[in-house]
Each structure stands twice: as C-alpha cells, then as structure tokens.
C-alpha cells in the first residue's frame, strides 16, 4: 500500500538511522479499532536507544510528522497513530484504480525472473477425479498471482505417464480389451481393465509376472508396447484437455515422467561423481542421516529407477532450461517427505538453487468428514461434479432471474467458479468439505456471492449510463464508503503477500470482505442520488468492479456482468 510506504518512509526519516526502513515496515501495524487510526507504529524498540519512555518518544515523533494524504498523526501512549484524510485518500485511490484498470495491483518484484510451477499432474489412463482438483486450481491461481507479481511463469503438467502400472494395463488390454470399446470410451474402459487386472491378479499371481515383462518391453522400446502406451497417453490428454478447457487452465509443458527416461543416467552419473551414492540392501541410495531423513532411493536392486530419480532429473532439466528463481511443486501433503529428500539431495550436489525449490502442500477434499478416495474403480469424477454444479446453478439462476439471457453460459461460469472458489477460499493446508449446496449458495463466503456482487455493481453502472468517471470530485467523506476504500488500497499488498506465502486463499477472503463492504455501502447509501458526490460514488462502484473482476481472474474464476 503506497500510503503505508509513505508512513514508513516518514518514520524512517525522523528516526535518522535508529531503525532501518525494513525494520520499521515490519513493526508498523494496522490498529484493531478505527478510533485508533489507520496505521500505527509502536515505539517500544526505541526506548533503550533514546533512554526515554515509549510514550514520550511517540509524543515527540508524532509532533514532527505530517503528510498531505494524512488527516493527522498523533501519539496514543507508546504508539504513533496515523489517520488517513478520507476525502484525499478516496480521491487518490479511485483515480488510480480507474486509470490502471485491470493492471491495478500489478507488482514489479519478479521482473526478469521466472517461476516454474509443477501442478495438476494426473496419471494417464485414469479418470480425472476430484482428487486432482486441489493441485490443479491452487497451481493455476499461484501461476496467475506470480505473473501479477511480475514473474514469467512456466506451467508444467508433470503427467504420471510411466511405471509398472502400464505393464499391467497393457497386459489387461491384450487379454480382455476391445479396441472398439476403448475408442468409444477411452478412460472409463482403461480404468475398467486396470481394476479387472487387480481383481484377477489376486488369484492369478502369474499376471503380475506378465505385467512386469510388458513394462520391461516398454522400457526397451518394443514397438507394440510403445504404440499402446502412446495411444493410452493421447486418449488421456484429449480427455484431460476438455476438463482443463472448462476450468480455464493452460499449461506450457506436458513433459511427464516418461520425458525424463533418457535424462536419468546423467543425474545418476552426477551423484556418482560426487560420491553420494551408497548401497542399501542391494539398492542405490543417497544417505540423508544428517537431515534426520531416511535414504533417498535412486535405483532398485534390479536396476529399475523410480519416480524420485525422474524428479531429480526433472529438477536439473528445469533449472538448466528455464533458469528459475523459484520452483513450486503443488503436490499433496502426503508427499512432504519425498520433496524434503529431493531438495536435500540437490543441496548435497552443491546446487545453491535447491533453496529456491518449494513444496506447496495442501489438505484433502472430504465428503462427510472422510477423505475422497479411489477404491476398486469407484472414483468421484470431476467432470460429473462440474456438470452437476452447472445444472444446479442454471436452476438457481432461472428461479432468481427467469428473464435473463444466456442462462446456460452464466450457469457454466457460476457453477465452475463456485467449485474453484470453494477450494481456494480455505487456507491451503486445511481440509475442504465437499458440498455443492454450500458452494453454490448466493449468500455467505462463496464464489457466487462475489460474482453476484460484481454483477450488481455492473448493473448500477449500466443504469448510470457510464457516468462513473465523468467530472466532479472523487473525494468521499462518508463513513460508509471508507471500509471499501481501505480495502481497495490494500489490494496490491494482498497480491504480494499471497504470492510470498503461496496462499491464494488470501485473495479469495479479500474478495469476500470487499463484497461484504460494498454490499453494506449499497444498502446504506443512495448511489445514484443527484448531488455533488454522485461522481465519486459511481467511481467507487466502478473501482470495486475492476478489483473484484481482477481478483476473481487471479483465482481462475470469471466475473459475469449479469446474473
């Protein structure tokens, strides 16, 4: 927030080197009560240096501070409290938001730097289930937020497209599969074959041997095995593509585990050169006892590599290819140990950039308090959930506004937005209780509530025939507009903090707060009243639409103008 920066700079100047600007910024806080001002600086840390009580220091400091956008700066016990000039600040921020438009809140922290984001990463030949939702929408939001912070992004879908399960799938297809059935319904049919394999293998252990043989042939480049694998992969990508399109999510790379097969030897050679490989029960491992972690398995006793080996190769490839300044892995919390091991192995290899790698874990999606799981082929398909959400949204919109045009398009926007927003409004590490009824409510902390607020504000502007930024002062002095104005001021800070903490939920919760304050304002003030403040009130409405729309976009949610 630029006003916070001005306050911090003033305080730094007055303290003449006693504390750094960074230290003063860290100490500056927002008072709990409006009566105590908009910003406060505690003077406790200065008592020893000044050899005075914090209250006396605050009194002397406040007397020397003034700024055109602050109404007054006063002492309150050991605090220096600053009060914004409501009229000047509202005029300043409304002009800025209207001038910047969707670019408002754009930061430059990441200019010239790149962030890689590894997210979504479903297994091919399996349906896209609700279990993949969190990584997908959190990763997409973090990529949008990184770009808003000035970073270039590389969005990577590290597909699960390798491993012994493909030997099982090829075996099942060769024994019981039908080309026609797979072409008609690829993913469902392949899942059915995979489940059948496991059911039969329980009584026919020789099937496991057959699967191992087929996977070995796949690894060795056998033409038939390779052709089947490519077919399964292509069909999966086509089906996933439909889901990603509905969710509005794009990727720059679909390089999955298989992509790194020819890159693993170089990674293993590097470990050998650094003498980091040791033998454990016939397998090659990197010992991590100094970090109180179990060994990182690189190569099994039969010579087979693992996904950890591929992750090591992938990290080396991404640094060399993209020269990232930060690399995020948006993967469930159950993989925390794996990523700790991976990052420490890279550290032991002497790569300083290992410190720029971050595992971004998250909680589970729960249904009736229990984890949604894939058992015996019973999965909760994301596509089915999306279809149901759209149908429910359409029914709700038809009930509330039967005459509205483009019902289906709006229902799609609201239904999909509700699913994404419901996931992101929670703190990332919290579990999310799945409930379409809760997600689609038009009241409370939901996506449809924020979307509806945006549509309501657009409706006011439409009635005003575009008078939002036409002439007149943009100063607002009423108490009802002030909470919304302060939130508009805070938007850039929220964007910066949400990126630094890998927490898109901060933006979602900010949008809920802004919607609540705007609706409160709308309920108390006649916005289209013909008086001297109408231009300023309409400017506030327009600024709110700009920030709500941009905030929703960062989360991957669309903002309809009518609902």
- DSSP assignment of 336-355 equals HHHHHHHHHHHHHTT-GGGG
Q: What is the dihedral of CA 540, 543, 549, 553, to 10 degrees?
A: -140
Rounded to an integer, the average pLDDT of 87-96 is: 95
The whole-number pLDDT of residue 381 equals 84
Checking if the pLDDT of 197 tops 80, the result is yes
The whole-number pLDDT of residue 126 equals 87
8 confidence band (pLDDT: 50, 70, 90): very high
Q: How far is residue 466's CA from residue 534's CA, in Å, rounded to a whole number?
A: 12
Checking if the pLDDT of 472 tops 70, the result is no
Q: How far is residue 118's CA from residue 213's CA, in Å, rounded to a whole number?
A: 31
The whole-number pLDDT of residue 467 equals 52
What is the enclosing helix (H) or strand (E) of 370? strand 370-371
The whole-number pLDDT of residue 470 equals 54
305 confidence band (pLDDT: 50, 70, 90): confident
Q: How far is residue 191's CA from residue 193's CA, in Å, rounded to a whole number?
A: 5
What is the rounded radius of gyration, in angstroms, for the C-alpha atoms of the chain?
28
Of the candidate ranges 328-332, 364-368, 484-488, the one whose mean pLDDT is the lowest: 364-368
**Number of Cβ atoms within 10 Å of the Cβ of 179:** 10
The whole-number pLDDT of residue 376 equals 45
Checking if the pLDDT of 446 tops 60, the result is yes
Rounded to an integer, the average pLDDT of 336-361 is: 98
389-555 placed in CATH 1.10.730.10: yes
Q: Is residue 156 within 8 Å of 116, Cβ to Cβ?
A: yes
Is pLDDT larger for residue 10 or for residue 301?
10
The whole-number pLDDT of residue 301 equals 81
Q: Dihedrals φ, ψ of 519, to 5°?
A: -65, -35
Domain coordinates in residue numbering, the chain = 2-84, 389-555
The whole-number pLDDT of residue 1 equals 63
Q: How far is residue 306's CA from residue 163's CA, in Å, rounded to a whole number?
A: 8
Using alpha carbons, select from 443, 464, 463 the residue that is nearest to residue 452. 443
Checking if the pLDDT of 471 tops 80, the result is no
Residue 503, by phi and psi: left (phi above 0), alpha (psi -120 to 50) or beta? beta
Quick one: what percent of the chain has pLDDT higher than 90? 83
Q: What is the dihedral of CA 375, 378, 383, 385, to 10 degrees?
A: -100
The whole-number pLDDT of residue 379 equals 66
Q: How far is residue 67's CA from residue 48's CA, in Å, rounded to a whole number?
A: 28
Q: Is residue 366 within 8 Å of 434, Cβ to Cβ?
A: yes
Rounded to an integer, the average pLDDT of 512-523 is: 98
CA distances from 103 to 122, 154, 249, 553 (A): 33, 21, 21, 12
Checking if the pLDDT of 90 tops 50, the result is yes
Q: How far is residue 402's CA from residue 425's CA, in Å, rounded to a whole number?
A: 29
Using alpha carbons, select from 110, 84, 63, 80 the residue that is nearest to residue 1. 84
Using alpha carbons, select from 251, 248, 552, 519 the residue that is nearest to residue 424. 552
Question: Would you state the structure tokens that stand for residue 19, as one six-digit string?
Answer: 């504390």
Checking if the pLDDT of 320 tops 70, the result is yes
Residues 6+ apart with CB under 8 A from 364: 332, 371, 372, 431, 432
Question: Would you state the structure tokens that stand for residue 472, as one six-digit string?
Answer: 């007149």
Checking if the pLDDT of 105 tops 90, the result is yes
Q: What is the total residue count of the chain?
A: 563
Q: How far is residue 356's CA from residue 157's CA, in Å, rounded to a whole number?
A: 19
Give the end-to-end CA distance of the chain in Å, rounded to a whole number.
Answer: 32
Mean pLDDT of the chain: 93
Using alpha carbons, select from 112, 111, 109, 117 the residue that is nearest to residue 154. 117
The whole-number pLDDT of residue 380 equals 79
The whole-number pLDDT of residue 366 equals 85
Rounded to an integer, the average pLDDT of 44-57 is: 95
User: Could you give the 3-state DSSP secondary structure of residue 118?
Assistant: strand
CA distances from 294 to 275, 337, 344 (A): 18, 9, 11
Q: Is 417 exposed, middle or buried (0-12, 13-18, 19+ CB in 10 A)?
A: buried
- CATH pick for 2-84 out of 3.40.640.10, 3.30.470.10, 2.60.120.10, 3.30.1360.70: 3.30.1360.70
Rounded to an integer, the average pLDDT of 129-140 is: 94
| Same fold yes or no, 2-84 and 389-555 | no
């Amino acid at each position: 927030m630029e006003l916070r920066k001005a306050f911090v700079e003033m305080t730094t100047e007055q303290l003449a080197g006693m504390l750094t600007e960074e230290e003063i910024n860290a100490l500056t806080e927002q008072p709990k009560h409006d009566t105590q001002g908009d910003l406060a600086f505690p003077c406790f840390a200065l008592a020893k240096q000044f050899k005075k009580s914090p209250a006396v220091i605050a009194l002397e400091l406040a007397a020397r501070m003034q700024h055109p956008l602050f109404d007054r700066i006063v002492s309150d016990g050991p605090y220096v409290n600053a009060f914004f000039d409501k009229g000047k600040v509202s005029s300043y921020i409304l002009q800025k938001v209207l001038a910047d438009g969707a670019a408002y809140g754009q930061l430059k922290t990441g200019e010239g730097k790149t962030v890689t984001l590894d997210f979504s990463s479903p297994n091919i030949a399996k349906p896209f289930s609700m279990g993949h939702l969190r990584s997908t929408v959190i990763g997409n939001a973090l990529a949008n937020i990184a770009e808003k912070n000035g970073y270039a992004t590389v969005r990577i879908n590290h597909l699960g497209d390798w491993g012994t399960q493909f030997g099982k799938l090829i075996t099942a297809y060769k024994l019981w599969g039908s080309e026609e059935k797979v072409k008609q319904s690829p993913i469902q049919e392949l899942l059915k074959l995979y489940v059948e394999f496991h059911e039969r293998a329980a009584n026919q252990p020789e099937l496991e041997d057959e699967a191992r043989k087929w996977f070995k042939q796949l690894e060795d480049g056998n033409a038939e095995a390779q052709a089947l694998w490519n077919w399964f992969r292509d069909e999966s990508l086509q089906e996933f593509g439909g889901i990603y399109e509905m969710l509005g999510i794009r990727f720059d790379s679909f390089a999955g585990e298989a992509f790194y097969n020819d890159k693993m030897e170089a990674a293993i050679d590097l470990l050998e050169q650094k003498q980091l490989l040791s033998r454990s029960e016939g397998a090659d491992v990197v010992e991590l006892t100094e970090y109180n972690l179990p060994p990182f398995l690189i190569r099994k006793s039969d010579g087979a590599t693992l996904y950890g080996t591929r992750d090591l190769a992938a990290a080396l490839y991404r640094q060399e290819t993209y020269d990232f300044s930060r690399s995020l892995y948006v993967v469930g919390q159950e993989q925390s140990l794996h990523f700790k091991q991976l990052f420490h192995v890279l550290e032991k290899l002497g790569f300083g950039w290992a410190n720029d790698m971050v595992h971004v874990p998250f909680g589970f999606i729960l249904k009736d308090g229990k984890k949604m799981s894939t058992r015996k082929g019973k999965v909760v398909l994301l596509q089915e959930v999306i279809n149901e959400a759209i149908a429910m949204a359409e029914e709700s919109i038809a009930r509330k506004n039967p005459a509205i045009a483009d019902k289906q398009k709006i229902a799609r926007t609201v239904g999909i937005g509700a699913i994404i927003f419901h996931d992101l409004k929670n703190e990332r590490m919290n579990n999310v209780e799945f409930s379409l009824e809760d997600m689609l409510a038009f009241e409370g902390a939901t996506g449809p509530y924020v979307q509806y607020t945006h549509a309501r504000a657009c409706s006011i502007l439409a009635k005003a025939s575009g008078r939002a930024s036409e002439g007149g002062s943009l100063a607002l002095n009423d108490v009802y507009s002030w909470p919304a104005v302060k939130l508009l001021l805070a938007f850039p800070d929220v964007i910066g903090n949400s990126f630094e903490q890998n927490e898109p939920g901060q933006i979602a919760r900010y949008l809920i707060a802004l919607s609540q304050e705007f609706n409160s304002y709308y309920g108390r003030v006649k916005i289209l009243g013909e008086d001297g403040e109408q231009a300023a009130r309409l400017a506030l409405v327009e600024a709110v639409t700009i920030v709500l729309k941009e905030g929703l976009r960062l989360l991957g949610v669309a903002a309809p103008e009518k609902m």
